[in-house]
Structure 1
Amino acid sequence: MTYQVVRVRKGKLSWLFEEDPIDIVKIRNNLRNARPEDFEDKYLEVVAWAKKKDKSLDHDQIFRNAIILAAYLKVKGLNTSQLRKFLELANRANLKFRNKLDIKADILKMQCILAYSTRNDGKDLHGPINSLVAVLSPLLQTIGEKNFEKFYEFLQAVVAYHRFFGGRER
C-alpha cells in the first residue's frame, strides 16, 4: 500500500485551537460563518492522533482533540442525535466496564455500527458521519479495553462541545 503525502494549508481559524488554554467561547463565536476548510488542518491532526498506536492519553490532549472534532463536526452539519447514538452505545459499554464485565463484544458492536452509519453519507467521503468515523474507528481499535474510560471521556466531551458550539437536532 502506498501513501500519498498531502500538504494541507493552514486554515484561517486554526489559530483558535492553538491558544493555551483554548477559549471555547471565542471558538463558538467564530464558528457562525466558518467552513470546514478554515481549520481542516487541525481536524487532520486529530485523525492522525487517533490512528497513532502510542498516542498521548492525558486529559489535556483528549479534551483539546474533542474540542477540535466537535467544532469541525458542527461546521460540517452533523446532528446531535447522530452523535448521541454513539454515546448511548458507549454508555452501555461503560456501565459494564465499571462493573468489571467484559466489553470486547461492545467495542466490536460499536465498530460495526460506526461502519454501518457511514451509509448516511453515501459516496461523500468527507461528509459529517465519515468525518466522525475517521476519528472514532481507529481510536476504538487502538485504545482497547484497558483505556476504554479515556475513549468514553473523549466521546462525552465531543458530544458536549458539539452541543455547546451550536450543534442541532435534525
Structure 2
Amino acid sequence: MEIQQQIIQRINNLEGSFKDYSIRYLVKDAEQFGPYLKQQRLETNQIRKFLDAINQLKTTLAQNNDFSSIETGVVLLKPKLAYAAARQPSVKPLSEVMSKAIDKVEDTQDFERLVNFIESIIAYHKAEGGR
C-alpha cells in the first residue's frame, strides 16, 4: 500500500479528532511521506499559499487563543489545496492527506497537531532535497 493511502487510513481510523494521531506515528509517516512527495516532484513553492495560510492561522490563534477565531480558516484550507492540486498534479497526494487531516481538526490541540504534521512533512521533503 502506498504511503499516502496508509496515512489516510490511519487518519480515518483515529478514535476521535486529529490530536489522537500519535506523535510517533505522525513523525514516522512524515518521514516516509516527505521523500515520497519529492519523488512526485512536489516543490515547496507549489504549496506556498497553503503554508502561508497555516502560518497566518497560527499567528491569529496565538493572538486570540480561541479556536473559533480560526475554524473557518482551517476549513477553507481544503479548497486552497484542491486548487493547488488542480494546477499541479504533484500536489495531489499532499492535498488528499491534508484534507483528511483537516476534517479531523476540531479544536486548538487538533490544529497544533496539524501544524506539527505539515511542518514535519515539509522538513522531510526538504531533507530529501526538495526545494
The TM-score bracket by the shorter chain reads: 0.7 to 0.9
Gaps of 5+ in 1: 1-7, 9-39, 122-126
Q: Structure 1: which 4+ aligned runs deviate by more than 4 Å?
A: none
Q: Is it true that 1:120 corresponds to 2:87 in the alignment?
A: yes
1:68-83 superposed matches below 5 A? 68-83=32-47
Structure 1 residues 79-126: Cα deviation after superposition (integer angstroms, max 9, x where no partner): 1212333221111111122221411121122112112222114xxxxx
Q: How many residues align?
A: 124
Scaled by the length of structure 2, what TM-score is found? 0.83
Tell me how far apart the structure 2 counterparts of residues 97 and 158 of structure 1 sit (CA, whole Å): 22
- Verify: 1:60 aligned to 2:28, yes or no: no
Deviation at 1:138, TM superposition (A): 0.9
Over the matched positions of the two proteins, sequence identity in percent amounts to: 23
Report the RMSD for the aligned CA atoms in angstroms.
Answer: 1.8
Q: Is structure 2 residue 102 aligned with structure 1 residue 135?
A: no
2:104 partner SS: helix
Matched with 2:106 is 144
Which gives a bigger RCO, structure 1 or 2 (Cα 8 Å, sep 6+)?
2
Establish whether residue 48 from structure 1 lines up as the match of residue 48 from structure 2.
no
**Length-normalised TM-score, structure 1:** 0.66
Q: Which runs of 5+ in 2 are unaligned?
A: none
Spell out, residue by residue over 1:49-91, the C-alpha distance to the aligned partner (whole angstroms, 9 max, x if none): 2333426422211111111211110001001212333221111
